[in-house]
Amino acid sequence: MDDTRREKLKRKLEKAELQGDEDRILRLRSKLDTHLELTTSPPAPTPEVVEEQNPHPQEEEADEVTARRIAKARRRLEKAVQDGADDETIELCKSKLIRLGASAASADASAAPDEKEREQSLQEQHGNGKEKRVSESFSSSSSSSSSSSSSSSSSSTRDESNGTLIKSVEEKKKTVTGEEEIDRSNMVLAKNGKWYPKPVTPVGNTSLLLFYAYVKPIWSHRERNDAINFTHNVLQSNGCGGRLRVAYEGFNGTLSGPAEGIRAFCQALREYDPTNFGTIDFKVVDGLADNKAFKGLKVWAVEE
């Protein structure tokens, strides 16, 4: 490849850089680098110095095409190592380099991360084989002794761990059975299928009375006023509150107060007019919170 070829490659590279074609730029740069390596390489050393200076003796016998392929494969391998590729990718690049004619030692040297590691790998493959065998045998013997000691210690730890595992499993079973044996008498089944505790209502001493009572014959104006005065005095003396409507036809009221006061009012009403109120079954709701009681009392006359 002469100077004309090199200038042509440079012009193509400039054109590719202007177009932004990265793949073509990489190919042209690799060709140009290969051309520079071949044109600027020093003269071949004499046979006496070949063993010391040239770490790739098989590449000298390759032709120009094979040399370019080997250089390209080596650059790919070095780039994969620099990029931190996985072991499988690096092994594929090494095998390809060896198939093209490079030695296994040179492939391992190219796979090393830096120049120092390359030199160390070459020395280990060519001159330190015996030391490596000795170190491997020593490491295998030490690992066997350590594995035996670790197995004895691990057996004791396994026994302890098995005991803790059995306890944890038994505790889990207890919790599961405990959940199944929960008393759901104080729980409510919701629409989502889950059980929830019943809402706790505050318990107090307040009772609620809702009633109506008719009289026959209807009261006169004087009799209605007497009924208003009587019921108002009884309710007030027993600490009751609420609303009581008094018509000529009878009572209609909503009252609240202490349980004893509400029942005292019911009994006083039966005794006031046994003919009309003696057989009434008053419905009383007990156990309401104290804040549910009416704060005031109103007893008034209505027309109906």
Q: State the Cα–Cα distance between residues 210 and 208, nearest whole angstrom.
A: 7
Tens digits of residue pLDDT in 216-272: 999 999 999 999 999 999 999 999 999 999 999 999 999 999 999 999 999 999 999
pLDDT of residue 300: 96
Least confident stretch, 34-38, 104-108, 147-151, 271-275: 147-151
Q: Of 294, 300, 295, give the one whose Cα is nearest residue 245.
A: 300
Q: State the Cα–Cα distance between residues 276 and 217, nearest whole angstrom.
A: 10
Q: Is the pLDDT score of 81 beyond 90? A: no
pLDDT of residue 169: 47
If you average pLDDT over residues 279-299, what whole number do you get?
Answer: 91
Confidence of residue 178 (pLDDT cuts 50, 70, 90): very low
Q: State the Cα–Cα distance between residues 118 and 123, nearest whole angstrom.
A: 9
In whole angstroms, how far apart are CA 227 and each of 93, 114, 236, 269?
A: 113, 114, 14, 10
If you average pLDDT over residues 157-168, what whole number do you get?
Answer: 52
Query: Higher confidence at residue 9 or residue 177?
Result: 9
In whole angstroms, how far apart are CA 245 and each of 91, 198, 269, 282?
A: 102, 37, 15, 17
Confidence of residue 91 (pLDDT cuts 50, 70, 90): confident
Q: Is the pLDDT score of 275 beyond 80? A: yes
One-letter amino acid at 268 equals A
DSSP 196: E
Tens digits of residue pLDDT in 206-221: 999 999 999 999 999 9
Q: Is the dihedral of CA 33, 36, 38, 44 positive or negative?
A: negative
Q: State the Cα–Cα distance between residues 177 and 272, nearest whole angstrom.
A: 62
If you average pLDDT over residues 13-25, what whole number do you get?
Answer: 79
**Mean pLDDT score of the chain:** 75
pLDDT of residue 57: 53
pLDDT of residue 111: 65
Q: Is the pLDDT score of 98 beyond 70? A: yes
pLDDT of residue 220: 94
pLDDT of residue 48: 54
pLDDT of residue 177: 44
One-letter amino acid at 87 equals D
